[in-house]
Amino acid sequence: MTPDVNVLVASYRADHPHHQSARAWLDDAVAQAASGRASLMLLGTVVTGLIRITTNPKIFKEIDPLQDLTDFVDSLLSCPGVQFQPQGTNWPNLRQVCLTQQVSGNLVTDAWIAATVLQSGETLCTFDRDFSRLLPADQLFLLKP
């Protein structure tokens, strides 16, 4: 499984309206990865989004300290079965998703995430229903708020 930015933000921020469902999913995903029942992959694009959003005073009145954020990511990566995938060589998949779905503007980052998920064979966990048009149903897990 691969969490989307919105899932990591919600699981990290206790004041987020979807914190409980996101944190429950993340805790379960970490436990499954640790037991070898599933993988948990953090994408570089998603980690970048987590840091970008939670340190933006236009989004959150009280922003998160960078040290706390990096500690959160490091704690996830220290768990058995949790992996980090930096930006990869996803151009062919990104190109295909963008052209097939006529992606532009704010959906381009989602297309990059979808291309990485397609290439890796993972399943994306997200609250964002836009991914329904970018990923096949068997590679998408939509959390309910």
109-121 pLDDT, tens digit each: 888 889 889 888 9
Classify the C-alpha dihedral 112-117-118-123 as positive or negative.
Answer: negative
Helix (H, G, I), strand (E, B) or coil at 36: coil
What pLDDT, on a 0 to 100 scale, did the predictor assign at position 96?
A: 84
Give residue limits of the domains in the chain: 2-142
**Residue 41: beta bridge partners?**
83
Yes or no: domain 2-142 corresponds to CATH 3.40.50.1010: yes
Instruction: Find the length of the chain.
Output: 145
Q: If you average pLDDT over residues 47-60, what whole number do you get?
A: 90
List, for residues 62-98, the tens digit of each pLDDT value: 999 999 999 999 999 999 999 998 665 567 777 888 7
| Upper half-sphere CA count for residue 110 (Cβ side, 13 Å) | 20
Q: What is the pLDDT of residues 100-109, one digit of tens each?
A: 888 877 787 8
For residues 131-140, average pLDDT: 95
Mark 115-134 as b/e (b = at least 16 C-beta within 10 Å). bbbbebebbbbbbbeebeeb
Query: Tell me: the pLDDT tens digits for 15-29?
Result: 999 999 999 999 999
Reduce the DSSP state of residue 41 to 3 states and report it: strand
Taken in order 82, 133, 98, 139, the sign of the CA dihedral is positive
